[in-house]
Each structure stands twice: as structure tokens, then as C-alpha cells.
Structure 1
């Protein structure tokens, strides 16, 4: 609705169909209504204290009335979309007589995922914000709907596309559109004036919006039946029970409910624990260190639950977290059966070493708490390691998301390149024996311990295997370790230390590289000499062919001249033919006949014949 809709931003797949004028208006009000200099995201009217002075709306009442006047003739029905209006529902309701409201709510786990794709640093640093903002907005939706249900529609984002006919019918009952015609007629009757030829305002402003908000693969994949409920749903309900309760209330009130897409249920991990009393073999152990940032941990665990093979154990190492919310989430995970090992803060490499030491699996995967594994990664890595005993490490490509989105394709293994640059992420499957042979991660290194481990493993003769596919999602966020490692000082310090720790290996590889280059150079020189011989042979043949080619050119020139003469001869013959066949030529011939028949005897009689009419064969006297 309206003709000033926000278009797609440079890094979004689709626009959000929000009305630009109303967005700017609400932002002006929030600038006065929110607590200044408080953490949060005031552009949406939310700060950590959750105090917003909605009464400041009245200071902008005249502007609001003028804005409404601009909408009174824009479309039929008139209206706008801007989620920010949710915080001023009562204020708008006082201004608009007999207003109608369409509330569209999403699942909190989908909203949290979508907010990680907005390139907004506040959300990348604080994933907890997503759930608090979802609660903050939807509590107001619930309260307003309960009071004014006769003038409102409450629908679930995921459920509407599957029940579009009912949605249009409900709009008609609300006085928006008509209940007496089908979907096609409603669609045809409500085309927006400013987007001629595009979808109907219903499809564009609502259904298209809902679908655009679920374009990311992780979201679309979660439109599932309850019997195949995604583990992220269960883990979200575990970590954010207030959101679960509010979602249940919304589903109970909704005109088109989302309760068929999920259900609250007790969570029980299917993953094994290292302290199990049975002696059953474990294929692979996933080691996930956690230092604060517990909200990210939920996403990582969900990916393991979703994609791990049947015989897999998960070991969470709490590396001395101090954040109260993280500690609360860890306790909830323990209560759900997950294995969490608590230790004093000792750093990432020590946490990984502790987890691998506890692991029962033949193979291990270090998975950072803010990353996610992809489907089939663990299964394919296990297949490679089972079939190739000389291979110690299996790695793949990665998908960056967060501050930027990019697929990082890494090369097949090259030892010399590994010594120059680390192209293998820590999220790689390795044999536990590799870790044992290398005596674990070197905790004396402040950063890049995984790179040192790969170099050490290569020095011991272990082979590496590259899977040419994206095997995990790597979260790039402000202040992440990968950003700090980009420092030149950190890089130079590591390079000095790693060469000092493995001097013989670097020397051996360097000498081997030099010898390989010498061999390659020798081969190239041999090839060059062969090419030179071929060139000389061709030059010799060319010289032998030169006289023949010269004569050939002379012949061609003579033939060209002959062709020119033939052409001229043809022109003359044609001209002669035209002359001899003309009327004038025939008349002249008749004259010659008369001349020789009648005039010649007369001249002979008088003894004088003019030279011009002598017989052609007459001899001179």
C-alpha cells in the first residue's frame, strides 16, 4: 500500500515494503522517546532498559495528521506498513477513525536468523537482542489485539502462503477487499497505481513480503512439519522460554496460526556424552568451546543435532564464562542432557585440548561456538578417513556470513603454500591420533594455534584431503578473533615463532621446493630447446620454399594480367558485335553494294576511278 515503499537495500535480497515517509516519521519520534546513549537499537525504538516514552508521539501529532492526509487518496484501501508503528498503536488508533490492523508475526528463531543477515553491528555483537526485541514488539501486538480483535487480523508469517484464500477472505471480513469474489478478482481489483503490471497489493505487500523474509536457505528449510521439527526450535524454546510462552499465546489468538509448524516439547539431545558408561564405539566427537556469547552457542549445537551422523558425541567446554546469560544457557543445556565441562578461563587452545582429551571418537571436529556445520560434512569426512589411513585431516570451503557474505573457496593441499599462509580453518575433521602425535594444540601460541597444528601434522607425515564444497558457515562479527589476527604484528610474530619451532621442517621443505623448482626449470629449458629446434627447422623449410613461392607470385601476376587482357578483349568483341548488328551498319553495307555495282562501271567508262571506290583487289597501274 502506498507509493513510497522502501526498495531493496544494497545487501538485501528484497525490499521490506515499508513506507518511507512513515519510517522517517517514526524515527524522528524514537529519537526523542528512547533513552539516549543507552545500548540497544533505537532505530526500532528498543534499548536495553526497554523504556520508550510513547507519550512523545503527541509532540508530533500535527505531522502525523498531515501524513495521514497524504494517504487518504493514494490507494484503496489506504494504509501503510512499518513495524515501528507497533509501539504507537494506541496513538495511531486515536487519530484514525475505525482503523483496521493486520498483524503479521514470525517465529522468534526465524527473526533472530534474519537479523543476523542485516549487516547491523548491534545485532551481530548481541544475538540476544533479537529475542528481546521480538518479545518487546509482540507483547504490544498481543495486548492490542485482545482489546480490538473485531478490527484486527493476526496471522503467522509462515502460515499465510499456505492459506492465501482464507487470508483474502479474512481481509474482506475486515472491510479490506471483498468476501464475495475469489482471489483472482481481488488481486485484479487492487493493483497499486505506482507499480502497474506487477503483483496485486495483497500479494506484493503481504505475501511477497512474507516470502521475501524467508528467502535465506536456513529459514526456508525450517518450514517443516511438526514430526520433523528442527532442533533449533527446541533449543530456542529451551534458551528463551519467555519467547516460547508468548509465541504459544499468539498462536492461540491468531486468525491464521503457526501452531502447525512447531510444538513445545521436552528437549532431549540425541548426541552422545563422553561420560557414558557403555563401551560403544564413537565415530566422531564434536568439541565446542564457549567463552560467553551463549546465544551463538544455540545455533552451533542445532547444526550438530541437525547434521551429525548417528554415532556422534558433543562436548561443550565452558572456558570460564562470566556472562550471566551465558551461564544460564549452559545450565539449561546441562538440564537437557548435554555434556558441559566447566573449567577456569585458559584460552581457546586449552579448551580444545581439554575437549579432545575427553573425546571417545576416533575422529574429532573442533567447532567454534559461533559457527555452524553443513549437511554431509561429517559423513563425507568419515568416509575419507575410513578409506585412506594416510589422511589425517579433512577440510572444506566455508561460507562467511555476518559482517560480510562470501563463499571462501580454498585450494587443494599444497605443503609449501601452507607454510606461507593458513588456508585450512580450525573447523576440519582430524584423527584423534593426529592430535596425540602433535601433543595437542600448542598453548604457548596466543593465536593461530590451529595453523601450527596443521604444520606439525604435515611435518609428521600426515596427509590432508580437501572436500571441494562448503562444509561450514563462519560467522564474521565485530571483534571476532579472525579480525584481530588480521593485524600485521600478530602475523609477523607468529611467522617468526613457527619457523623457530619447526626450523628443520621449514628448511627441508624450502630445500625440497628449491630442488623441485630446479627440476621444473630444467624441464622447461629442455622444452624450450626443443621448441628452438622446431623453429630452426621451420626457418630452413621456409628458406627452401622461398624461390618457389617467388615464381608462384610471378605466375599469379601474369595470370592476373591475362585476365585483364581477356576482360578488355571481351569488351571489344561486345562493342564490335553491337556495331555490326546495328541499323547504321546494315545501311552502310547496302551502300557499298550499290557503289560497286552501279558507280564503278560509270567511272571506268570515263577512264577515271576515284581511289575511294576502287575494287579492293584492284592492282595499282
Structure 2
């Protein structure tokens, strides 16, 4: 197929089509705002016309309560559509949720077009639409599962009949492996995307979705067998699938350790995926490390679940809290999860499968999605000891073999300033254990805007930490010195170049501000304490 063939991305509203479109745009696809506006307006007219005579519903989406959709009406739009698409660029990419029920029409109208068909877990779609502010959905939440079935039945049938020109993907899986979509488009249809841009995840903006009612919504969906059958059919046919099920039984295999110091207000989110997993986790340990916050204490006291154990202790620091959890754990493997972060249960499942295949692997780690004050997705490197000796790039949210932790005595409790996880990874490598990187986004790291420079990254503290780690593992550093020094020099040169670049920006801003220093509004900006802090940080 030609690489400039039009690409149509469709799926029910709230299913993640927008995120996939933003990603593909950043990877090199051409999405024209004016074209999309005209084409979506055209699709809305089709839906309204085909829904005439139907009972209530959302005609703009092609849905009525009695599912009255007159397909004969669509043919009258053929000549208008042909004319409309004639004036679009050859490499058009079109994001159109409303077109999901008229795919055969567009397949005929654009015989060389390719289709990305998107679906998402229906209970998450419902929660997203309820929170989107759509007044019709707010008044008629029962519509969502009917529309989900209506749209996805069409999508599934089209995928079955047009496998050569369609790719069915789960947006739940996409958010774990975005680059897989670019790979699929290249492998199947020959679209040539910039590999570097395909690994740029600046499109990512996590939706602020409340998890409070998700279990209820999921149970509501599965109350009807036809719903379950459709979702399973979508999973089975998906080229990029997110299957919550696994043959791996987690009982006695995994313990989850969550240190908590005055972070009780985040615990519900941290526990959400663990509580709602179809694979029951029997051993969740929350270590209350001497919390003084009344809200945290109240939340911890209210936990009454047989598989969650709360350990109360005087404040001993992060290493001590994790070690307390390790001692109390029953599992063969341990997931370390900070109280303010979130982890996907697929992380646990994949990590266990990896370590069950290789008894020399002790640490499995994945890529983080950052959320909170800042949002981004960051790909971390595969394991390399010189890179690890140079800097810690493996987050504490890992799945670790308990036997290996016992061998090294757990986390170093003398490291009160931080980076105790870095020292642990170095220690495990020194004892002969292997590491495995899962190149997927499987956990969420919360970014909190507490201070511009964290305590552990203050220069005087960072120096103490690095000196201690180097002294403790001096032989390992010596044996890797030839590879390590060039790497350190390169990193320093890159940092120096970045600082010079930023200093140039600050100098230019200062020059521009000085030209207009008598303007009251600019005076206020220049004197703003936060602006001054940023300027001082960059100048250093």
C-alpha cells in the first residue's frame, strides 16, 4: 500500500483516539485542523440524517435509544463526500470518533484509506464521559454502555471483514507501549515515521479520572453476558492488546511493600490497581513509618482488608521502612511501591514471568509515566553497569527477588539522605544478580511541586551520597574506571552545554526586560520571587 494513503482513526468517544492522534502527529502524521473540522462536520450531518425518526439518544454520535440508524440515507452523501475528500491532502490523517458506525461508507469512498480502530475498557470510558461535562451523558449515564456496544460491534465487524486495511488496538495497551503503534503502521502499510519522533511522548497528558466508582461501573458492565463476550472478542482480535487476565497465579508469589510517611491521602490511588486486579494479590504490606498527619493515621486505621497488613513503627527512614516490609513479606518476589505512586498489575505479571524463566534475574524494572505537577513519559535505558555507577536511572518501583535482597541484607539504613535504591541496585549487581528492563510504561510516578531542589539533590548532600557509595563499592568502580570516566566527562559536557544554552536564554530575557523596566506589569514579573528563583537556578 502507498505510504501516503489516508489514515482514519476512530473509536467511541472517551476511548483514547485523541491521545493516539496526538502521538501520531508528533511522530510525523499530518493532521490539519481545518480539514478535521470540515470532515467531522460532514460526519455529524450523516449521523443526524440517518438517526431521523429515532427515539432520543445522541443523534450527533449516530445513536438513538432504539438504535434506529437508516444506512440507506448515507448513500445520498456519497457525492458530497467525494468532493470533500478531493480537496484534502494525500497524506491526510483524520481523527473521527463519530465515523465508527459508518466505516463501510468511508472504505468505499476512500478505497486506499487505512483505519486504526480503537477501543478501551468500557467502565473507564463511562467514567471519562461522565466527568467530561457532557450534559446528555450526565442525565443519561445508561447510554454509555449501549453506545459502547453499538460502536464496538461495528468496529469489530469491520476489522473482521477488512483485516488488510485496518488495525484494531486497545488504548489501554497503547499507553503502555505507544511506539508499538508506529511499528505496526510501518510493518503493515509501510508508513515511514521518524524513529526518534516515534519515541517522543510529549503527547502524554494523563486524564484526571476519579477511580472511586470504577469497580462499581465494571461490575455493572459485566452484569450482562453480551458485554463480556464483545470485550473478549475485541481483546482476542486486537493487534495491540491489553488483557487483564493471566494464567499466572499471584498467590504466594508476590508481596507489595508500600512505605508511607504522611501520604495517606494518596493511598487509595496507589491501592486501586491492586484492589481491582483480576489476579488477587494476597500480601500487601503498608509500613507506616511514624506518620504524624492525622488524615494519614485515620486512613491507615480504617483499612480492614484481609490481604492488606499495616505495620506501625517509629520513623526510621525509607530504607528501614522497606526492610520492615521485606521481613514481614511472604512472597517470592516483591514490588516496591511508594504511597504516592501507582503500578499496573501487568508489571507484576510480566516481571514474575521473566524471573520464573531465569533464576539469576533479581530486578525487573520498567518505564515511568509522570503525572501530577508535570506530565511526561520517559523511556529508561537497558541495564549497563557503567551507566548505573554513573547515575541512578532505575526507579525504586521495581519487582525484586526476595532471595537476592536477603543475601545483601536489604536496603542500607545508614543512607538517610536518599538514593538508597541506587546503592541497592549496585550491591545486587556486585553479588552477581541480573537486571531486566521491560520497555513498557507500567507505573505512574507522581511529581509533586514541593521544592525546586530536593534534599538529596542539594550539591552538599549529593556529594556525601556519591562519596559514600563510591567508598562502599570502590572495587567495582575501579574495575569499570576506563568506561566510567569517559561517560562521566560526556555527561558533564552535555550538562555544561545545556547550562550555557539556558544562561543565554536568561541573558536575553534580562536584556528584553530592561528595555521595558518602567512598565508596571513587567516590573511585577521581574520582581516575582518564583521568577527570581528560576533565574538564580539557571544562572548557577
Larger RCO (CA under 8 A, 6+ residues apart): 2
TM-score of the superposition, structure 1-length normalised? 0.40
TM-score of the superposition, structure 2-length normalised? 0.46
Rg larger for? 1
